[in-house]
A and B are shown apart, each in its own frame.
Chain A
Amino acid sequence: MSGSNGFEPKIVAFVCNWCTYLGADLAGTSRLEYPPNVRILRLPCTGRIDTNLVVKAVEGGADAVLVSGCHPGDCHYNAGNYHARRRWMLFRELLDVLGFDMRRIHFTWISAAEGRKFQHVISEITEQTRALGPWRAYEAKAEIDHRGGLVGQAVSPATGRAGPAPALQAPAPLAEQELRDLARRLLGAGDVKVVIGYGAAGPVFVTKAADVERLVWNEGCQANLTTYLKRKEVRALGKPAVVVKGCDERSLVVLEKESQIRREDVRVIGMACDGMGQEKCAACDTHEPRFADERVGKAGGQGGKPAARYAAVEAILAKTPEERLAFWSAEFDRCLKCYACRQVCPMCYCERCIADKNRPQAIDTSPHRKGNFAWHIARAMHLAGRCVGCDECTRACPAGIDLRLLNLTLARAAETQFGYRAGMDPAAEPPIGAYSLQDKEEFIR
């Protein structure tokens, strides 16, 4: 059975309890022979299979991974397999951009009656994987010095993409005075207890009408201040007004949808914006706030190329998977695990992040390549269909990791597959947590 070099692939199969596991059982009781290369892990439902489990399998040296559950319409829990299918539609695009070998990631529907299909699938995957050879994914390639000798890969000046796009035009028309007057009025009338706004050297929390001069509006107002709405120290100040740009405003839509804020508990001050000189600004189509209670200023020209918002994803997809993996390895090797990306994110509001859970340790805390891949994959997936593209993670990262490219990948997947853009339409159904019988499944056999 083994190849000429003696290589025997290890295949990890995550299967559901009700269909595929019984299918495997039937194969056994029917005396149908299939290769012993597969390690079966039984879970209640494919809907329960966390994408992190796939990462764990890869870390553990799997040469191929199989996820298998009930046929559409067959799920013991009615719709678990539909949820899994949808999650995989997004997850596969992420893995592809990361440069994973997609020939080693399989998804099948196998019912309890299909012992023969199970036999065929396992035999085929085993043969195919044997031909591919061992999976030299990031861990195998990493040559991580567990003694900590290297500080990431040596980086050459040539790596990395071009820097941020230049500002589209001059900073937005100065609406600073109008903003201050508005803040003075809101605080004076007692409508709000605090105005969360931009100051000369970072966010400021203005609680007295006399202090509104601390508020500024200039080309340095890049932060997405809605992230403070979740912080308990800020919540303790009382009802807030928050200064947002059209892009930041999108996070309010998602936060409300996810029951993290009540819209009536927040006064939203929307600033018209012509761009802050960041990469995202070049493709902006939210120069004007749309849902704000108060609006300040008027955006000048529109400019920018919204249609080109996923150009960076398409550029990396033009590279080979090996080049992509090398690119991300170099990017992630710089990660310090400072979690600035998580902390700054308005959408990261879990009381305890999966990265901080250690019973069991879902994600290695170590900032080595393995731990960094696991972390960034988990972070991106947790933001799938939720990230509004404010790029705060990228701005906050002290190591300059191109995190926006991961978020854009999933935003692109959500838009192309489900016509969904997070935070654009309060009435739209988010892609994760919903499903459609029409969801594509050309990757499932």
Chain B
Amino acid sequence: MSARISREDLRKLVAEWLAAGKKVFGPVRVKAGLELYAPLDSAEALLLDGWIRPANSIKELVFPRHEALYGYRILKNRVELVDLAAEIPEQIAIGAHPCDAAALAALDKVFNWDYRDEFYNRRRAATTVITMACAAHDDQCFCTSVGLGPEAERGSDALLHERDGGYEVRAISEKGRILLGGLAGETACPTAQTSGANTPPRRFDSAQVAAFAKEHFEDPYWAERALACLGCGACTFTCPACHCFDMVDEGNGREGVRARNWDACQFPMFTLHASGHNPRANQGARQRQRIYHKFVMYPDKFGEVLCTGCGNCSRNCPVGLGVLPAATEIGNG
């Protein structure tokens, strides 16, 4: 059966985790109008309501924006590699939304497909995701259009449902069970809602989006749609599921690190060849790529859409683009 926890007890739990040296990551209000998932320095900083979703995502926990992979030292006749592997502290995401958690399940596939990415996996193994079912949605939310919902379980280790001033707690995975112990119940929340104020309407059909992208690859639609696009990476960097990265060496003539940083398909440099040729020569091709990857390429390989409907791309786009406006146009036959 499910179990309950009061808001006060939830904060106490967070305080206990922090006191035990665990890294706890949750929504905080950075300044007026800006909520972000960030490491909590106190249980009080955890923002339990008053927001739809933070402007970033919890992918930073498993796939940081900057990650040094190994160091190097240049010696007289050779280069010595330095192992930077360190213990990843146990980390907990609390208050993540189902659209964040589901993205981790998608990332798991990418980072373990043809190659097991040890850097991703060690962070993933150290991470427990306690998801908060959504109590509300806004006009940018579209989880129901990509096969998810405000109470979806994919990628979560435990799920909290806000009920009567407290939360019903349910463990979903072994990790969640271990972390929450006796606090969590096992069965689905008896009062779980499948529709209501927290459920955005279905705004498009993702199969139709895929079909359009396949059949209209060379359509002028893409260039027209992309006219306003500025070519920044705000959409991809705040997307819970986008996972492209760049490799850089940073250091001086004696030593340095090889690191990976987030990269974005919206940057012209992303596909620029050394020859000067750029296979994605214009912003239309780059906008198409983002839709195509999410609705065609990834599903062809892994059987699900690489978009969890969080709406972050549109909320963060300075010029009102993102997945939703395009998908509503091409995914409503």
Contact = CB atoms under 8 A, between A and B. Distances in A.
Interface of A: 60, 146-152, 154-157, 159-164, 199, 201-205, 223, 227-228, 233-234, 334, 336-340, 342-344, 356, 361, 364-368, 371, 392, 395-396, 398-400
A146 B237 contact: no
B66 A398 contact: no
18 contacts: A147-B84, A148-B64, A148-B67, A149-B88, A160-B32, A161-B31, A201-B325, A338-B232, A338-B234, A338-B236, A339-B233, A340-B233, A342-B232, A344-B318, A364-B250, A368-B66, A371-B66, A396-B234
Contact of A151 (B60, B223, B283): B60
In order of increasing CB-CB distance, the 5 nearest A-B pairs are A202-B320, A163-B32, A160-B31, A148-B64, A148-B67
A410 B6 CA distance: 50
B41 A202 contact: no
Contact of B250 (A60, A163, A204, A366): A366
Contacts of B152: none
Interface string B50-81: 00000110001100111110000000000000
Interface string B18-44: 000001010011111110111111100
B33 to A, nearest CB: 5
B282 interface: yes
Nearest to A352: B269
Interface string B251-266: 0100001010110100
A227 B267 CA distance: 17
Contact of B66 (A205, A233, A342, A367): A367
A227 B248 contact: no
Interface in B116-132: none
A154 B284 contact: no
A396 B315 CA distance: 10
B318 A392 contact: yes
Contact of A159 (B31, B66, B264, B325): B31
B86 interface: yes
A155 B262 contact: no
A149 B64 CA distance: 7
Interface string B297-322: 00000000000000000001111110
Contact of A340 (B234, B262, B320, B321): B234
A154 B231 contact: no
B211 to A, nearest CB: 24
B65 A164 contact: no
A339 B232 contact: yes
Given A148-B65, A160-B31, A338 B86 contact: no
B227 A156 contact: no
A359 to B, nearest CB: 11
A233 B237 contact: no
Interface residues of B, number: 64
Contacts of B33: 163-164, 400
Contacts of A336: 56, 65, 233-234, 237-238, 262
Interface string B79-109: 0000010101100000000000000000000
Contact of A233 (B29, B42, B233, B283): B283
B246 interface: yes
Interface string B206-247: 000000000000000001001110111110111000000010
A154 B65 contact: no
Contacts of B40: 154
A399 B47 contact: no
A356 B67 CA distance: 19
A60 B234 CA distance: 30
B166 to A, nearest CB: 22
Which applies to chain A's interface (DSSP): helix, strand, loop or mixed? loop
Contacts of B227: 203, 205, 233-234
Task: Count chain A CB atoms within 10 A of each CB in B65, B66, B262, B319 and give the residue with the most.
Answer: B66
Nearest to B38: A155
B84 to A, nearest CB: 6
Nearest to A199: B320
A396 B318 CA distance: 5
Interface of B: 23, 25, 28-34, 36-42, 45, 47, 55-56, 60-61, 64-68, 84, 86, 88-89, 223, 226-228, 230-234, 236-238, 246, 248, 250, 252, 257, 259, 261-262, 264, 267, 269, 282-284, 316-321, 325
A181 B173 CA distance: 61
Nearest to B47: A157
A149 B39 CA distance: 10
A338 B84 CA distance: 26
A46 to B, nearest CB: 25
Contacts of B39: 150-151, 154
B91 to A, nearest CB: 9
A203 B66 CA distance: 32
A234 B283 CA distance: 11
A366 B257 CA distance: 11
Nearest to A204: B228
Nearest to B325: A201
Given A366-B259, A395-B318, A146 B36 contact: no
B226 A233 contact: yes
A152 B66 CA distance: 10
Contact of A146 (B29, B84, B88): B84
A146 B318 contact: no
B42 to A, nearest CB: 8
Candidate in A223, A228, A233 with the most chain B CB atoms within 10 angstroms: A233
B56 A154 contact: no
A156 B41 contact: yes
A148 B119 CA distance: 10
A336 B264 CA distance: 11
A399 B250 contact: no
A227 B269 contact: no
A396 B319 CA distance: 8
Q: Which of A148, A164, A342, A371 has the most CB of B within 10 A?
A: A148
A344 B232 contact: yes
B228 A148 contact: no
A315 B45 CA distance: 26
Contacts of A234: 227
Nearest to B261: A366
A337 to B, nearest CB: 7
A320 to B, nearest CB: 21
Nearest to B33: A163
Given A146-B84, A148-B66, A233-B282, A160 B34 contact: yes
A21 to B, nearest CB: 23
